[in-house]
Structure formats: structure tokens, C-alpha cells
Chain A
Amino acid sequence: MAKQQQEKSFWQKLIGIDRRVIYLIIALAMILPFFFQMGLPIPVTDEVKRVYDYVEGLTPTDCVVLSADFSPSVAPELSPMFEAVFRHCLKNKVKVLVISLLPQGPGLVEPVVQQAARDHRATNGVDYAFLGYQYGFSLVIMRMMENIEAAFPNDYYGTKTSDLPVMKNIHNYEEIDLIVSLTGSSNHRVWLTYAHEPYNVPVAPGVTAVIAADVYPYLQSKQFIGMLGGLKGAAEYETLIEEKKMASMGMEAQNWAHIVIILFIIIGNIGFFAIKRQERA
């Protein structure tokens, strides 16, 4: 009886691990991989490959709108995504219009834009335009279909958009070859409704892992050409462009965090079933 009591207390302990212990283990699982990289290969999913292939197929006369519609809370997932796609475009000399429909967006991506431009020797206003934020979200998207310069009269640095050489042959959606909307909410659907459906502009969302599940119906219906989902999507894109940066490093941390969470779930269930069995006995 005493032995059984002792055994029971062990199972009780197993399902009652102090949350501070869990927090500590999770913290270690996420911090340590940044210092000890395993360098596991990152398999590329079809939806990411489709976005990569599409950008790869663009020429220097083509133009991509990169919309940084995210805030700092989701930046660790979406900023590497933005960087990977932006670098890919610069590498292929594809024109890029960087915009944001959320006020926090431009501040977040400006250093990324500048660093990538330096690395690829791209010039603001010539190879790409950093148009910054404009109020109105869906109204801005609708305005862009008539006239991009009217929607963004000045760029982020105050230069008139019409004076930028990169804008010479770009007036509305007819000259846009791809829109990549990076968002931590369902904002990608607004691009779908107001840009893709009426004007058939190809759209590819880059979303957080939480939102990724919502995008699959639109992938199957081919309304989105592909998708970058969560940090994994960013890491896959980095793998494809052969520029491993923050997303690939972050995947190691995510790797171990997922493993630790799964282990905790298994431990919790073992304890749960052991107690249930004892109660039945």
C-alpha cells in the first residue's frame, strides 16, 4: 500500500511539474540552439518553392510590390521573410516597391532594406522604391489600381514618387507582376479581394505560422500563387536563395522548442494514464 502510495505520488509529480521549471527548460531550448547550431537541412515545401520559382522567372523590367503589413510583435517571423524576398528580387535585378499599410511597418523594414541594398549595390529610387506607409489599407489598395503615385505621392524619405526613376513605367496594377503581402493577420485577403480578383495581379502572402492554416483554401483554388508560412517559410526561402540568415538560425531554436513541448505533452499524458489506471485498480 505504501509502495503504491509512493508510486502514485511519482505520477502526481509527473503531471504537476512546476510551471517555472517548464519556462526554464523552454528558455534553454530556445536560447542554446543560437550558440550550438546543428545545421539540419531545411526541406522546402511546394508552396514556398512556387513563390521562389515565380520570382526567379521575373526579369529586370518586371516589378514586385513588397507590402510590409506587420508590427513588431510578429517581426521575428515576418522580417526574415521580407528580407529573403527583397534580396531575391535585388539579386535578379527585379524592381521592387516597398510599401506598408500599417504605420509600424516602414520603421521595421528600413534597416533591412538599407542593408540588403548595400549588399546588392542597389540604389533607392533606381532599383527599388521605399514608399513607406499610407493610411487607409483597403482604400490604398483600391487607389493603387488606378494610380500608384496618387496612393503614395512621396516616398519614405520625402522625395516625390513621380521623380523616382524606378517609377518611370510603373503606374498601376497593370505594371505590377507580383504582390507579396507580409502580415500577421488576415490582411492578405484584402489584397486578394481588391488586387487579385479585379485585376488578376498574382499575390503571394507571407504569414505567421498561426495564420498559415487559413491560407490553404486559397492555395488550392490557385488564388495565391504560393505562400511563405511562419519562420519555416522564411527559412525555406533563405535555403532556396542560398543566403542563410536569421530565419535559418531561428529554425534551430524552433526545432528544439517544438521537441520540448512534445516531450512535455507526452510526459503529461503518461502521468494522466498512469493515474487513471491506478484509480481503476
Chain B
Amino acid sequence: MLWKKQIPLAIAFIMGLIFGIQYFVPHRISDQFFQGYLDWGIVIGIFGSMLGFISFYRAHGMRVKKKAPAWPYSLIAIAVSIFMALAGFIQGRETGTIYSNMYFYVLVSIEGTMFSLLAFYISSAAYRAFRARSAQATALLIAAIVVMLGRVPLGEQLSFWSNIWPSLPSITNISDWILNVPNMAAKRSMELGIGLGIMMLSLKIVLGIERSYMGSD
């Protein structure tokens, strides 16, 4: 109990208090302390990455060992990670090396493909779900169409009225207004709420009221 609860709570409280004071004290000792924290933070983080590697090989190794469903993929994951590491260490990572080519012609393509699938899903989902069922939904629909048109060059070309009556706003102008006024008002209130929430949660952690970060047991 002492190691799992009291000591972590004490560390959170003491460090929270020290860094709270440190931020407002422009003194040499305070700066040195902060520099020490930066070094420690990076070292601890790198050790955390090592835990990640161990966890990766352990999890996939177990899957291969137990011949779990889709275990060949785990084998590929292990093999490719080792291959990439070796390729980087032996040949380097400059343009034209195996590491660089694997990165560009395999990883970049795979990740790009995965992300680009969104365009297809969004199109299909928008067609099926974007209906003017109510006044709010209609407002959202109109705003979405205006912003979509305003974000492409064709939007400006379609604003024929701007050529006849230059004082009237073009689709791009209306799109900019939507982003700069209603969107910003909503975003700002959300940001303020999130900011206050972070402050409250931080205080609760420092004071030991919020303990869920320590796990359940």
C-alpha cells in the first residue's frame, strides 16, 4: 500500500507544489532545478520507449508462439522491425538507402492509403446521413456546403454575383466568415472549458483527490 499509494501520492503532491512555485520564481537555483527536470524527463521518456519495444516484441512473440489467430502478421511485424533497425544501423538512413526506400515506398504509401480511405468513407457517409431533417440540420448542411466550396478555387469562380455586385460577398468570403465568427465562438468556448477542466484536474491530482492515474489495484 505504501509503495502503490502513499509514495506516488506524495511524489505528485511534492513535485506539483515545487513546479508550481518554480514557474513563478526567476532565480538561478529555480532555473537549475528546471534544467534538471528537462534532462530527467527526456531520460525517463527514453526508458519508457524501451518498455514499449519490450512490450511490442513480447506481445507479438507470444502470439507467434501460441499460434494465435493471424499470427503470421505478428511474425511479419517482428521481422520487419528488426530488418528496418538493421538496415538503418548498417547502411544509414540517407536518401537512396534501403531504410529510406522502405520508409518511402512502403510505410508512407501504406499510411497514406489508410488515411486517404477517409475521403471515400466520408463521401458515402455524407450522401447517406447529411439530410436537412430539421432547422439545425439544415443550417449545418448549408454551412458545410459553403465551407466546402469556399475551401476550393471553384468556389470563387462560382460566385458570379461578386462580378456584378462587387459589394456582395463571394462564397470564399462567406466561408471565411463562418470560420472566423460562428466557428471561432464555438471553439473558443470549448477551449476555455477544456482549459479550466485541465486546471481543475491538475489541482485534483496534486492534492490527491484524483487517483485514477495510479490504476485500480
A residues apposed to B, CB below 8 Å: 15, 17, 19, 22-23, 26-27, 30, 40-43, 45-46, 71-76, 104, 107-108, 110-111, 114, 135-136, 139-140, 142-143, 146, 157, 209, 212-214, 216-217, 220, 230, 232, 251, 254-255, 257-262, 264-265, 267-269, 272-273
Contact B180 A40 (CB under 8 A): no
B35 contacts the other chain (CB 8 A): yes
Q: Give the residue of B94, B115, B191 whose beta carbon is less than 8 angstroms from that of A74.
A: B115
Contact A107 B103 (CB under 8 A): yes
CB-CB under 8 A from A265, the residues of chain B are: 126-127, 130, 141, 144-145
- Nearest chain B residue, comparing its CB with the CB of A157: B94
Contact B184 A108 (CB under 8 A): no
Given contacts A110-B94, A136-B41, A139-B41, contact A261 B148 (CB under 8 A): yes
- Nearest chain B residue, comparing its CB with the CB of A20: B124
B17 contacts the other chain (CB 8 A): no
Taken together as a complex, chains A and B put the C-alpha atoms of A65 and B160 apart, in Å, by 41
Q: Give the residue of A75, A142, A220, A272 whose beta carbon is less than 8 angstroms from that of B38.
A: A142
CB-CB under 8 A from A214, the residues of chain B are: 187
- Nearest chain B residue, comparing its CB with the CB of A221: B188
- Nearest chain A residue, comparing its CB with the CB of B146: A262
- Nearest chain B residue, comparing its CB with the CB of A252: B153
Q: Give the residue of A73, A142, A255 whose beta carbon is less than 8 angstroms from that of B152.
A: A255
Contact A260 B123 (CB under 8 A): yes
B residues apposed to A, CB below 8 Å: 34-35, 38, 41-42, 45-46, 49, 93-95, 100, 103-104, 107-108, 110-112, 114-116, 119-120, 122-124, 126-128, 130-132, 141, 144-145, 148-149, 151-154, 156-157, 172, 176, 179-180, 183-184, 187-188, 191
Contact B184 A76 (CB under 8 A): no
Taken together as a complex, chains A and B put the C-alpha atoms of A36 and B51 apart, in Å, by 51
Contact B154 A40 (CB under 8 A): yes
Contact A232 B151 (CB under 8 A): yes
Taken together as a complex, chains A and B put the C-alpha atoms of A17 and B127 apart, in Å, by 9
- Nearest chain B residue, comparing its CB with the CB of A215: B187
The 10 closest A-B pairs by CB, nearest first: A72-B111, A73-B115, A40-B153, A264-B127, A72-B108, A216-B184, A73-B111, A255-B152, A217-B188, A136-B42
CB-CB under 8 A from B124, the residues of chain A are: 19, 22-23
Q: Give the residue of A15, A73, A146, A232 whose beta carbon is less than 8 angstroms from that of B114.
A: A73
Taken together as a complex, chains A and B put the C-alpha atoms of A114 and B96 apart, in Å, by 12
Further contacts, 17 of them, CB under 8 A, given A135-B49, A255-B152: A15-B128, A22-B124, A23-B120, A26-B120, A40-B157, A43-B153, A43-B172, A73-B114, A111-B95, A157-B94, A217-B187, A217-B191, A254-B151, A264-B123, A265-B127, A265-B141, A269-B130
Contact A262 B145 (CB under 8 A): yes
CB-CB under 8 A from B156, the residues of chain A are: 40-41, 43
CB-CB under 8 A from A75, the residues of chain B are: 108, 111-112
Given contacts A107-B93, A107-B100, A264-B127, contact A209 B151 (CB under 8 A): yes
Contact A257 B119 (CB under 8 A): yes
CB-CB under 8 A from B45, the residues of chain A are: 135-136, 139
Q: Give the residue of B35, B49, B112 whose beta carbon is less than 8 angstroms from that of A73.
A: B112
Taken together as a complex, chains A and B put the C-alpha atoms of A136 and B37 apart, in Å, by 12
Contact B151 A220 (CB under 8 A): no
Taken together as a complex, chains A and B put the C-alpha atoms of A135 and B44 apart, in Å, by 11
Contact A41 B153 (CB under 8 A): yes
Smallest beta-carbon distance A274→chain B, Å: 12
Q: Give the residue of B110, B152, B172, B183 whose beta carbon is less than 8 angstroms from that of A213.
A: B183
CB-CB under 8 A from A209, the residues of chain B are: 151
Smallest beta-carbon distance B206→chain A, Å: 18
Residue from B35, B120, B131, B153 with most neighbouring chain A CB atoms (10 Å): B153
